[in-house]
Structures are given as C-alpha cells and as structure tokens.
Amino acid sequence: MKDKIVAATGSVSGATSILGSWQICHNLCLGLIWLLSIVGITASGMPLLFLTKIAIPVWMIAMLLFVITTYMYIYKKCIAKSLWLFNAGLLIAGVPFPELQPYQLLFWVAGGFVAFCGIIIYLEKKSSQRPKYVPS
C-alpha cells in the first residue's frame, strides 16, 4: 500500500509541475484552438488564459509534493532516481514567477538537461534489463 501512495505522490508531483509551466499552457491553448477549428468553431485569443492566474499556486503545490517525494527518495529508497531527476527537471523548467522571466531560458535549459538525464538513466536501466539476443 505504501508503494502505491509513493508512486501516486511522484506522479502527482510530475503532473502538477507540468501545469506550472507557461509554455505548456500556451501549447494547450493552441491545441484547443486547433481542435475547435476542425469542427468549424473559430476562436481568437487564448481560451485557456485563465490558467496563467493559477500557475504559481499549482507550481507551489508541485514543489510541496516534490519535497515529499524527495524525502521518500532519500530516506525510504522507494523511488527511482530517474523519476526523481525527471520530476526535478520539470519543476526547474516550469518556474512560473514573473520576476524570473529574464532568466526563463536558463531555467528551460537547466530543467531540460536534468529531465533529459533522468530519461537517459531510465533508458539505460531498461536496456540493461533486457535479455541479450544469442543467435542459435
């Protein structure tokens, strides 16, 4: 049961960190406009602009969940390093504070690099677990 709670906490942390990103919100709006245009509805502007008003609270929730996940990662050793790194990268890349906008590119690069490292570690682990093909 504890493993399921830990896995759910990690998943929620990653999902909410994505919601805190300004770029993700913009891409969701563009996708919604595209879907509406397919059925013949024209939308001008950004229909999901209201999400930018809650970006900071959602990112703060993601950070709180990430702190809990970090505790579990360090003390309980029940979360994969790759998942922890990926979530950390998403949080770094999704920093939504307007005061830090001049440094947004730096956050995207740093967060993207950390998340990419998590993906590489995950893929390396998966490839080493596969049985090697031995021709007969």
| Domain layout of the chain by residue ranges | 2-129
Report the pLDDT averaged over residues 37-50. Answer: 65
Residue 96 C-alpha from the chain's centroid: 13
**Chain segment 94-115, per-residue pLDDT in tens:** 888 888 888 989 999 999 999 9
DSSP states of 44-87 as a string? -S-TTGGGGGGHHHHHHHHHHHHHHHHHIIIII--S-HHHHHHH
pTM score above 0.85: no
DSSP state of 134: -
Q: Chain-wide mean pLDDT for the chain?
A: 79
Confidence of residue 43 (pLDDT cuts 50, 70, 90): low
pLDDT at 118: 92
Indicate the helix (H) or strand (E) that contains 135: none
**Chain segment 58-103, per-residue pLDDT in tens:** 888 889 988 988 998 899 888 888 889 998 998 998 888 888 888 9
